[in-house]
Chains A and B, each alone.
Chain A
Amino acid sequence: MEQLIGGLEILAQWQNFLIIPLGLAIGIVVGAIPGLTSDLGIILCIPLTYGMDPTMAILMLLAIYCGGTYGGSITAILINTPGTSANAATLFDGYPMTCRGQAFKALQMALFASTIGGLISAFSLLFLAPQIARITLLFGPAEYFALSVFGLSVIAGVSNKSIFKGLMGACIGLFIATVGIDNISGTARFTFGQNKLMAGIDLIIALIGLFAISEILMKSKYNPKTDHKVVRADSITKDKITKEEYRRCRKPIGIGSLIGVIIGATPGTGGGLAAFIAYNQVKQSSKHPETFGQGEIEGVAVSEAANNGACGSTMIPMLTLGVPGDGATAILMGAFMLHGMVPGPSLFTEHGNIVYAIMLGLIVVNVFMYILGSGFTRFYAHITRIPYEMLAPIVLTFCIAGAYSTNNRIYDIYVILLFGIVAYFLRRMDFQLVPILLGIVLGPLAEKNFRRAMVISEGSMDIFFTRPISCAFLLIAIGSVLVFAWKNYRARKKTERI
């Protein structure tokens, strides 16, 4: 309690309330540019924080992180390209809403859900951090593998039209994830003698190629004379969220936030996986699952609540155990060390007041995000009015710059172009891109932990079923696939009868 009050005193300094909106603005802008992520925003701003006091510095970087995670939804909704991998699930319903002229409504819901998810996450960090941290220690290789299988089971839900193509897509993703040096055996796989492939294919590079470049190629038949819809400026922001829609989204936001907190607190996972799992759960339990993927506002709500719900909880293992929850928190951990605080069990005893100030600050960050985001939403909604022949080169420029900035090399630009072309043909053949992305995200997690588990169990598969958490995840995954199979079967029967 003393530390909480001490933290409040540190947080109450006026400078903190100036730096948070600045960090948020940087984060939202960076997150909304395809190819630029909050990770990059944090790296670029770390040198700016050298002269600041630790609380102010970390709050600025945290604001970039949260702003970036929300900002990524803007492009997912408007141009069918997620700004970060955490926003990939927002595509499902966000972009169809834009196509229906409901971009403003989708952006509003993304902001609202992100804020609620972020707030729930911030409160869990504040009050439950030590307890959650102890639970994450129970996660060994078997549990991580089972969690990845559970994540991969989402494929069944996101490839409704053809489960076969969904599985093929996931295999492509899993294959891409194997490129590079295998950490367990130390051998280079599928590098074709190229040193530049030793580190594998960066997730963000794959993301830009798969979504942004292929989207531009898909629009190659676009005719500016006939395809561009002229929309009046005042009509853009007319379609607002109704009270009934807010009421409908309460449950998805709650589920999304909860799953976001749990998955986020599990090191090595992150908001992207949380969003997919939450989306899948809400779709399954919905009375109208057929509307998901067609521009269902609940889909936007659950995805954004989940990825921002993970933002605060990824800090739990980082602060308490010294293990970053995802890439951005790994960089944040470095920032903590640069400011003389070593994350780990002793952080709360040695720098308790500052840590509490930061945790309380995360609540302020989310409140400010709503205020600032409301202004940005109005502005961004007008992007839909830009003719595509102008928007495409701008997006392409940002993608190329973003791809280059990831590793500072031209090679990655060739990779995004190659991915874009392959993804274009896959899309023409009615393949969904999300299973490919899921394969890339979950492949390394599944493979590494499967092999670790096999070493620990001396080759016995029993390890996955004798450990309760692992067994529970696998059963949920199997149940989840069976429910989808049953629903699909019934739907097909119904269609046959008609």
Chain B
Amino acid sequence: MKKLTSIALALILAMSLLACGGSKEPEAQPDAQPAESTTEATPAAEEAPAEEPAQEAAQLNWPEKEITIVQPWSLGGGPDVITRQIASYSDKILGVPMIVENHTGGSGTIGMNTFLEAEDDGYTLFCCNGPLFSLTPSFIAVDYSIEDITPLVGIRITEFVILTNAKSGITDLAGLVEYANAGNTVKYATTGGPGNDSYTMISALFATLGIASEAVPYDGGQEAINALVGEHVDVAIGSPPTYRDYVINGELNCLGTFIPEGLDVEGIGHIPSFKDQGYDIEFTGMDYFAVRSTVDPAKQEILKDFVLQVYADPEFQAFMADMGMAAWEADGEEILGMVEAQTEAMTKYIPMVQ
């Protein structure tokens, strides 16, 4: 009896190990069919790239199983919350569940590698951003490039704002320069370390201003803002909704934003850009959905259409408004253009901070 039980338990153990091992590439069998359609679709797409994928998408009986969004950022953060909200619509619109898997660390490169290791069957999406191509490769050795991915549709624009504590009396950049020129070293809180976009941009700003400063990297936007509210640092960088309430109730001051055209925030009003204040520094961060570049264009069309349907939903719009943001409906071409522009801009900013 004991032997039998031991054998049964050993079998359970072996099966669980097999299940673990197998789950890495479970898509192999169901993918056989979509893979065929990929090869068929490519020549057609070459002939009429604009219309064919949409027509094929309508004929394609896809998706047939759950879709995974690889999320390189941590649970509960801005991109994670938005992608989870989008994923919640999948059952209703696509008829299959969509799950969000967080593969964090390595400034997003771990998530990127996981995404690129997955099959190119369209069942894996990636929550991508600009700095993964424009910034991270300058700090970490990466083995991917922009050619490996196809941006589908935008998620959000990241609008970085520089803030000070109201008690300091500093309300604009001139005041900050004056404070530094009085012999003070400005300590500024960033939302991450070197290789992080907020770190690079605020450091580049201080290099442009030519004032003595030191970065104090924190783990995330809210931590950085709270360090400023608690008067542990002089300046912090933030994006909505982390700073909004504190500015509205008068605890923090906005000095400006990297968005070239300035920023209008509900309850705060217009935040001027640094460009308008006479400093040649600008940055527009963005998150977007991407698939592997070899994914069938018809499937790309279905996924893009799904996301746009979610963006059109009034409930989703209200959700984004509560977060102090709006969905960014940019298409692949626009996103690629912005990544390219950002990469070029970074060639100027990165040497300033290295």
Q: Which residues from chain A sit less than 8 Å from chain B, CB to CB?
A: 43, 46-47, 50, 137-141, 180-186, 188, 195-196, 198-200, 224, 267, 321-324, 330-335, 337-338, 340-342, 344-346, 389-390, 393-394, 396-397, 400-401, 404, 407-410, 413, 448, 452, 455-456, 458
Contact = CB atoms under 8 A, between A and B. Distances in A.
B2 A389 contact: yes
Interface stretch (B123-131, B214-222, B276-284, B288-296): B214-222
Interface of B: 2, 5-6, 9-10, 12-13, 16-17, 20-21, 23-24, 74-77, 80-81, 84-85, 87-88, 97, 99, 101, 103-107, 109-110, 113, 139-140, 185, 187, 192-195, 214-219, 222-223, 226-227, 229-230, 232-233, 241-242, 244-246, 248-249, 318-319, 322-324
Nearest to B233: A456
Contacts of A47: 87-88, 97, 99
Contact of A345 (B81, B88, B249): B249
Nearest to B82: A337
A346 B242 CA distance: 11
Contacts of B97: 47
A404 B223 CA distance: 30
A331 B100 CA distance: 13
Contact of A138 (B21, B187, B214, B230): B230
B105 A456 contact: no
B226 A321 contact: yes
Given A186-B194, A323-B222, A199 B105 contact: yes
Nearest to A389: B6
A432 B16 CA distance: 31
A28 to B, nearest CB: 22
Given A140-B232, A184-B217, A331-B76, A413 B20 contact: yes
A195 B214 contact: no
Nearest to B322: A340
Contacts of A335: 76
A321 B227 CA distance: 11
Nearest to A187: B194
A219 to B, nearest CB: 15
17 contacts: A50-B88, A137-B226, A183-B217, A183-B219, A186-B139, A198-B110, A323-B226, A330-B74, A337-B76, A337-B323, A341-B322, A344-B242, A393-B12, A397-B12, A397-B16, A408-B23, A410-B21
B75 A330 contact: yes
Contact of B110 (A139, A184, A195, A324): A195
A342 B217 CA distance: 24
A17 B20 CA distance: 36
A407 B103 contact: yes
A333 B74 CA distance: 12
Contacts of A400: 13, 16-17, 20
Contacts of B101: 408
Contacts of A456: 187, 216, 232-233
Contacts of A448: 219
Nearest to A180: B105
A323 B107 CA distance: 21
Contacts of A322: 222, 226, 242
B76 A139 contact: no
A50 B233 CA distance: 39
A321 to B, nearest CB: 6
A342 B319 CA distance: 10
A452 B105 CA distance: 20
Nearest to A351: B322
A393 B15 CA distance: 12
Contacts of A186: 107, 139-140, 193-195
Nearest to B81: A337
A410 B12 contact: no
Given A47-B88, A334-B75, A344-B241, A455 B214 contact: yes
Contacts of A331: 75-76
B187 A340 contact: no
Contacts of A140: 227, 230, 232
A267 B223 CA distance: 9
Contacts of B10: 393
B310 to A, nearest CB: 13
Contact of A46 (B84, B218, B227, B232): B84
A390 B97 CA distance: 37
A346 B99 CA distance: 30
A455 B110 CA distance: 29
A330 B76 contact: yes
B193 A182 contact: yes
B106 A452 contact: no
Contact of A338 (B17, B85, B195): B85
- Which 3 pairs between the two chains have the least Cβ-Cβ distance? A199-B105, A186-B194, A334-B76
A195 B75 contact: no
Contacts of B216: 141, 452, 455-456
A139 B230 contact: yes
B20 A410 contact: yes
Contact of B9 (A181, A267, A390): A390
B223 A323 contact: yes
Contacts of A184: 193, 217
Nearest to B14: A397
Contacts of A330: 74-76
A348 to B, nearest CB: 11
B232 A410 contact: no
Given A184-B193, A186-B107, A393-B9, 7 more contacts: A137-B230, A140-B227, A186-B140, A345-B245, A394-B12, A396-B13, A401-B20
A376 B2 CA distance: 27
Contact of B80 (A185, A334, A390, A396): A334
Contacts of B249: 345
B76 A195 contact: no
A334 B84 contact: yes
